Amino acid sequence: MKNSFKLLPDSKGYFGNYGGRVLPVELEKIFMEIELEYVKIKNDKKFQLEYADLLKNYVGRPSPLYFAKNLSAKLGGAKIYLKREDLNHTGAHKINHTLGEALLAKKMGKKKLLAETGAGQHGVALATAAALVGLGCEIHMGAIDIEKQAQNVAKMKLLGAKVICVQSGGRCLKDAVDSAFQAFVKNPTDVFFGIGSVVGPHPFPMIVRDFQAVVGREARAQIIEVEGRLPDYLIACVGGGSNAIGLFNEFLDDDVKMIGVEPAGKSFKDGEHAATLTLGKPGNIHGMFTYLLQDKNGEAMSVHSIASGLDYPGVGPIHSFLKDEGRVDYQFISDDEALAAFSELSKIEGIIPALESSHALAQAIKMAPSLSGDKIIIVNLSGRGDKDVDFVVDVLAKRDNI
Ligand SMILES: *Cc1c(COP(=O)(O)O)cnc(C)c1O
């Protein structure tokens, strides 16, 4: 069946059993309004031209599809291509959807973008988009994260954003989400909640997916140009799942295998990983129904990954659907395997990848040797590793590995 997977959610925002708008009724209205506006804008030529122009001249798209010939030769199996989202302005794929969200907010007459951030990557991408389109920006961040991520906090401030230090609870991402949501609910007329991945209440999973789909559209044209055919495998890391669905979406109805890679962290003990689709069960989180790492009471568990961008107990509902359908295979990679891939790519290709992207890379490194030389793998290199360098050098120094 053609177009069976490149699907629109149903009228209530469900992809199969997953997604929806699990919210108090009074909040539902706000998200319905965003949906209506978005549907209009999606079909508006002027909006699409403006967005396409920014992708080209501001973000620097199309991002290259690079044949990693040193790595491929060393592994001695499949050919590995890297989709270079790390070369985007601000250094990752997130700018693709924060720009779209900022333009949408501006068109809706909003005055301010608001969001939470964990390590600060989403905060920086959103503050960048806000600066560009001329909107205010307010980022909520846990006090502990603020201390750890001084550079991203400084960037957000330089970009003109107000950084709110959250002192409640564990003073981390979860508390920042609550704080940001409370601030948003106080003034939903003027404020646009800029969600950071394909998560949250409908229509956000759909909106963010649509804005990220440019990654796969480009990759499809690029691989056909150089290889004259489609790839055999696509591999991407999955936190919320935006870079993964961004790469996968355009290929969903093709004969191409896809692997989403979750963080197995330190171990499969509770609290030491964030392998949601591997070990979670469906439940409610942040306004959606989706796979969730949860305790006996259905509360989100604490999670861990060496890559802070993958450190999320839920996952985008599209991925829950694609897992149940068997369309995408979800695998997992440990902290140590990701670290090894980080070092390997740096040494052999001169590319320092983000720790998040290193999970996808580690999966390719695992698989490539047993595949024949005519097979093609595309790995989504979702971001660059500059942000991780100090941390990785510390870890490796402790192990006498550098
Ligand atoms: C935030 C981030 C991710 C994880 O987010 P997804 O929505 O799962 O893509 C992955 N890679 C990088 C570089 C990130 O900054």
The residue type of 185 is V
Residues having CB within 6 Å of any atom of ligand 1: 92, 94, 121, 197, 237-243, 309-310, 354, 356-357, 382-383
- The two tokens of residue 16 are 């199969």
d(CA 272, CA 45): 47
Q: Which residues are catalytic?
A: 94, 116, 382
The CB-side HSE value for 300 (13 A sphere, CA atoms) comes to: 25
Q: Best mutation site among 89, 93, 209, 386 for ligand 1, i.e. most ligand atoms within 8 A of its Cβ? A: 93
Per-domain boundaries in the chain:
14-55+94-208, 60-91+214-398
Whether residue 148 has pLDDT greater than 50: yes
Site of tokens 């978005």: 38
d(CA 301, CA 304): 10
Site of tokens 């909106």: 207
pLDDT for the residue numbered 4: 60
pLDDT, tens digit (0-9, with 9 covering 90-100), for 219-255: 999 999 999 999 999 999 999 999 999 999 999 999 9
Q: Which residues contact 23 (CB under 8 A, 6 or more apart)?
A: 31, 201, 287
pLDDT for the residue numbered 243: 98
pLDDT, tens digit (0-9, with 9 covering 90-100), for 65-80: 999 999 999 999 999 9
Mean pLDDT of 355-368: 98
CA of 11 to the centre of ligand 1 (A): 28
Q: Best mutation site among 90, 149, 237 for ligand 1, i.e. most ligand atoms within 8 A of its Cβ? A: 237
d(CA 103, CA 334): 37
Q: Which residues contact 342 (CB under 8 A, 6 or more apart)?
A: 352, 353, 355, 358, 361, 385, 388, 392
Residue 347 backbone class (left: φ over 0; alpha: ψ -120 to 50; beta: rest): alpha
d(CA 3, CA 254): 9
Helix 317-324 with 204-212: angle, nearest 10 deg: 80
Question: SS3 of 329, please?
Answer: strand
Short-list 260, 251, 276, 262, CA closest to 335: 262
| Domain 60-91+214-398, second-level architecture | 3-Layer(aba) Sandwich (3.40)
d(CA 282, CA 298): 9
Cut 0.85: pTM above it? yes
Angle at 278 between CA 273 and CA 23, to 5 degrees: 85
383 CA: nearest ligand 1 atom: 13
What share of the chain in percent tops pLDDT 70? 98
CATH number for the domain formed by residue range(s) 14-55+94-208: 3.40.50.1100
Q: Do domains 14-55+94-208 and 60-91+214-398 have the same CATH topology?
A: yes
pLDDT, tens digit (0-9, with 9 covering 90-100), for 196-220: 999 999 999 999 999 999 999 999 9
d(CA 263, CA 107): 37
Short-list 143, 146, 97, 100, CA closest to 120: 146
Write down the mean pLDDT value for the chain. 95
